[in-house]
Amino acid sequence: MTNVIRLNVPSPRQGREGRIAHLVDCFASHRRGTDDVFWLKENAELLNILECTGVRPGAGVLEPHRDFYERIEKRLGFFPQYYRFLLSICLDLEDLGIGGGKGEALAAWVAREGLAEAEMSDLQRAEARRLTLRRGVDALPEDAGLTERLHRFAERSATFAMPNKKAAYELTHIVFYLSEYGRRDPGLSAAALESLEYAGLLAYLDQNADLLAEICVAQRFAGAVPPAIWEHWLEGETHRFGAECGPQAGLGDDYHDYLVCNWAMAVAGRDTFRQRTAPGRMAFYRGMAAPGPLRVMSECMLGLEDARSDDWGAMRRHVEARLSEAGHDILVLAEASSPRFGAFFAGFARTGLQGVAI
């Protein structure tokens, strides 16, 4: 029988290092097998968050990864298509304290084999460059325009005033790579900072904690302070997670939300991974909450057709008439969170083709 532990119950007797040890062991040994690409994804995410937030658990806590680390060059040789996951795990394990120095040779091999040159996405090319540069190797020495292209994408604020989760996640990762995960100024322009704010408003209106957490992290990496309303809501969501423990715990869970919400708390200087954990297999879930008003707002604007306006003052009554009480409360907080809400709404309304003969 599975055992459900509510992680919103603090554990005064369980030290933070013990909780981190449970998490590392769970993801390394109890959720998936190492031949599963999702094992690579989950462990790369957890180790990256631990490394970039300054956690140094030491070799003992990392011991569940020992066999994988000892054979990682063989794994890379057979699965070069997963080089970004594998190199990230290798570098983070070394920097977290597992003991070893394979990362430099692996980064050099990745560059020599031209693996980054097979990427069609600038975002993936930026990740490859950032990873190899961690060991002093540039995987793309001839791509002098990559950084400029990333900035150009980030500076088109209109992209991020419309619901587009893929674009929003790409924006946050651009900031992660340009800032070296908070180690340097990414050099964002005012337009790019506006893009982050628009993306954050959409995430808050959608009550998407996963995306909003990444946006708040990106804002802080860029030297901006996220709206207190967003971070207060995220703190509450972080404390609402629960863990299902035991061999029957399913894997269609909210593990990523759990990790990035704690990441956002760490970057904001708040306590992280405070709640009780258990040895072995764990799955992470957040309690049900009222849906955000974003979808209803979008349907309202679509339904207005030619009567649609980009003036929030004129459209407010139409939108509010469609919302539930909970949705209205969220909208009020979203508007209060940003002085740019009106400018955001002008893009959200999508009135650009009205009156154009086609």
Is 263 within a domain?
no
∠ CA 293-302-327, rounded to 5°: 10
The tokens of 353 are what? 């083709």
Rounded-to-integer distance, Cα 176 and Cα 61, Å: 26
pLDDT tens, residue by residue, 159-178 = 999 999 999 999 999 999 99
Domain count for the chain, please give it: 1
What's the pLDDT score for residue 354?
59
pLDDT, mean over the chain: 94
- Host domain of residue 92: 31-143
Which residues is 286 bridged to in the sheet? 241
Residue 337, domain member (yes or no) = no
Phi, psi dihedral angles at 273 (to 5 degrees): 45, 45
The per-residue pLDDT for 242 is: 87
Asked whether the predicted pLDDT for residue 2 surpasses 70, the reply is no
Structure token pair of residue 42:
């989950």
Tell me, yes or no, whether 278 lies in a domain.
no
The answer to whether residue 60 sits within a structural domain is: yes
Task: Decide: 70 and 199 in contact? Cβ < 8 Å.
Answer: no
CB 68 within 8 A of CB 34: yes
Classify residue 63: in a domain, yes or no.
yes
Which residues are 245's β-sheet partners? 3, 282
Q: What's the gap between Cα 188 and its chain centre?
A: 18
pLDDT tens profile 17-54:
889 999 999 999 999 999 999 999 999 999 999 999 99
Instruction: Determine the number of helices (DSSP H) and then strands (DSSP E) in the chain.
Output: 18, 3
Q: Which residues pair with 244 in a beta bridge?
A: 4, 283
Inside any domain, residue 150: no
pLDDT band at 358 (very low <50, low <70, confident <90, very high): low
Looking at residue 357, its pLDDT comes to: 56
Beta-carbon count within 10 A of 114 CB: 10
For 72-125, how does the pLDDT look when each residue is reduced to its tens digit (9 = 90+)?
A: 999 999 999 999 999 999 999 999 999 999 999 999 999 999 999 999 999 999
Please, which pLDDT band fits residue 356 given cuts at 50, 70 and 90? low
Residue 273, sorted as left (phi over 0), alpha (psi -120 to 50) or beta, turns out to be left
pLDDT of residue 287: 84
Whether 130 maps to a domain, the answer reads yes
Is 121 domain-assigned? Answer: yes
Query: In the prediction, which pLDDT does 12 show?
Result: 46
Residue 201, judged by CB atoms within 10 A of its CB (0-12, 13-18, 19+), counts as buried
Higher pLDDT, 287 or 320: 320
Amino acid at 318: H
Provide, rounded to the nearest whole percent, the portion of the chain with pLDDT above 90.
88
The full length of the chain comes to: 358
Runs of H (alpha helix) within 155-250: 165-178, 190-205, 209-221, 228-238
What is the distance between the alpha carbons of residues 121 and 127, in angstroms, rounded to a whole number?
10
CA angle 38, 40, 43 (to 5 degrees): 105
Question: Are the C-beta atoms of residues 93 and 66 closer than 8 Å to each other?
Answer: no
